[in-house]
């Protein structure tokens, strides 16, 4: 019942977008060129600025990328790299269990209470926050 009601709610909009996509592709197929949409002109002509880059992201000379299991997150954040990019794509098998566990590891790291004890008894903890890589 949920899927049926969801389908009924979104299908008309989805079909309209697919039709607009076909029309846009036909325009390109006839030699038309991409351009900005007219309904977004106010954004482009407005007086606005992007916020300055946070200080923590201004030095990205050394970055490390890795999986999101607790041991690897701790080791990456403690590595001395400037930035740790949590990788949910290439270094993590994207099962629901792995993705959820990875999110839980990152949430614990952000709270500062992530730790891990290996089967051999070795205990891993995070360094103080100001000594950790920036998590992205």
Tell me the pLDDT tens digit for each residue of 54-109.
888 999 999 999 999 999 999 999 999 999 999 999 998 889 999 999 999 999 99
Listed residue (51, 62, 50, 67) closest to 102, CA to CA: 67
Give CA–CA dist 117/125, Å, rounded.
Answer: 9
State the average pLDDT over residues 5-24.
97
Q: What number of H helices and E strands is found in the chain?
A: 4, 5
Whether residue 50 lies inside any domain: the answer is no
Structure confidence at residue 109 (pLDDT): 98
Q: Are residues 110 and 63 in the same domain?
A: yes
Structure confidence at residue 67 (pLDDT): 95
Q: Are residues 63 and 85 in the same domain?
A: yes
Structure confidence at residue 42 (pLDDT): 94
Domain count, the chain: 2
Rg (CA), the chain: 23
Give CA–CA dist 56/126, Å, rounded.
Answer: 18
**Whole-structure pTM over 0.85, yes or no?**
no
Q: Are residues 29 and 91 in the same domain?
A: no
Boundaries of domain holding 66:
55-135
In this predicted model, what pLDDT tens digit does every residue of 17-45 receive, in sequence order?
999 999 999 999 999 999 999 999 999 99
């Amino acid at each position: 019942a949920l899927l049926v009601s969801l389908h009924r709610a979104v299908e008309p909009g989805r079909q309209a977008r697919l039709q607009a996509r076909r029309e846009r592709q036909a325009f390109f197929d006839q030699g038309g060129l991409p351009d900005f949409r007219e309904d977004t002109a106010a954004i482009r002509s407005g007086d606005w600025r992007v916020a300055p880059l946070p200080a923590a992201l201004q030095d990205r000379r050394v970055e490390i990328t890795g999986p999101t299991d607790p041991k690897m997150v701790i080791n990456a954040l403690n590595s001395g790299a400037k930035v740790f990019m949590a990788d949910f794509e290439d270094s993590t098998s994207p099962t629901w269990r792995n993705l959820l566990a990875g999110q839980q590891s990152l949430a614990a790291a952000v709270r500062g209470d992530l730790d891990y004890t290996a089967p051999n008894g070795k205990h891993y903890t995070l360094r103080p926050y100001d000594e950790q890589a920036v998590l992205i």
